[in-house]
């Protein structure tokens, strides 16, 4: 029977390890979260991030501009946070309203306060193998694999997806662990030819239950980063999620077919409860590391 890789257990370990580091600082780390508008999903994500801050002793500041804010006004808010010596990390919750220049906004966050690890300078540090904040979701995946003692050195890893937030940094982090990495994407032909050779398969496509047993090598470790909401009961029943659907009126599913991945793999992350908890944990880790660096420089 396949082993379930429980992200909540790893999250709790990461947060527990951060507490003594925070206790050694001359002040609590400070994280500013900018939430533009009233996107319900974003509000939930931000609420969970602020809850995690309170849990381990990080001071959080929530800024909530209206959805019609102009790009220049939002840049002004970020500039103010950048100059605040009590703010160690800045996070701009995505997605932003369509009229806002998201790239300009993300790049306005100083690299030394980039809690998400998205700034081009920090991406460059990742490429060069230098220390710096890392993109939270792929960093969490690496911590998960290490926690469960799943070897990466010399293993064949396939990453499905090439986004700047997950796919590309995930591939780079696996390379740093000496895995042999292949990136597949929407233009890859004969996809099963690649995925069925993977010792470690990481899916970040956003296609609900797309990957069935034909894509999974027997005995592979499978990490499911995708999260989609199923609102059709017939679809939920097709993938074995009818009980969840009947209980809530909807069901969450990842990129992997949940029945097939449990049957075909050696170990896998569930959805929910797999990678999701680790993203926030690594945001906390980035914030603490940034605070340590700032306070070391001002000591």
As annotated, the active-site residues are 49, 93, 116
Closest CA to 170 of 229, 162, 178: 162
- For residues 61 and 32, the answer to whether their CB atoms sit within 8 Å is yes
Angle 36-87-58 from CA coordinates, rounded to 5°: 90
Identify the sign of the CA torsion 276, 277, 278, 281. Answer: positive
Task: Considering only CA atoms, give the Rg of the chain.
Answer: 20
161's tokens: 């997806």
Q: For the residues of 123-134, what is the DSSP string, one character each?
A: HHHHHHT--S--
Rounded to whole angstroms, how far apart are CA atoms 32 and 59? 8
């Amino acid at each position: 029977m396949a082993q379930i890789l429980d992200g909540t257990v790893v999250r709790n370990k990461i947060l527990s390890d951060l507490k003594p580091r925070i206790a050694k600082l001359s002040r609590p780390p400070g994280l500013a979260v900018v939430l533009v508008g009233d996107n319900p999903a974003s509000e939930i994500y931000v609420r969970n991030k602020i809850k995690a801050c309170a849990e381990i002793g990080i001071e959080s500041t929530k800024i909530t501009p209206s959805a019609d804010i102009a790009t220049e006004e939002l840049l002004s808010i970020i500039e103010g946070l950048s100059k605040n010596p009590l703010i160690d990390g800045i996070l701009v919750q995505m997605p932003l309203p369509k009229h806002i220049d998201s790239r300009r906004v993300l790049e306005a966050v100083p690299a030394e306060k980039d809690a998400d690890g998205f700034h081009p300078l920090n991406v460059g540090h990742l490429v060069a193998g230098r220390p710096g904040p890392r993109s939270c979701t792929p960093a969490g995946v690496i911590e998960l694999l290490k926690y469960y003692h799943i070897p990466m050195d010399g293993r064949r890893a396939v990453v499905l997806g090439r986004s700047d937030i997950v796919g590309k940094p995930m591939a780079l982090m696996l390379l740093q662990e000496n895995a042999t990495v292949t990136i597949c994407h929407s233009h890859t032909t004969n996809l099963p030819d690649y995925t069925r050779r993977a010792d470690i398969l990481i899916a970040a496509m956003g296609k609900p239950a797309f990957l069935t047993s034909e894509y999974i090598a027997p005995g592979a470790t499978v990490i499911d980063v995708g999260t989609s909401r199923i609102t059709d009961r017939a679809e939920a029943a097709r993938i074995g999620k009818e009980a969840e659907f009947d209980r809530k009126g909807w069901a969450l599913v990842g990129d992997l077919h949940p029945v097939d991945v449990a049957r075909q793999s050696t170990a896998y992350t569930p959805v929910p409860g797999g990678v999701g908890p680790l993203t926030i944990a690594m945001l906390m880790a980035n914030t603490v590391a940034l605070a340590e660096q700032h306070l070391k420089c001002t000591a």
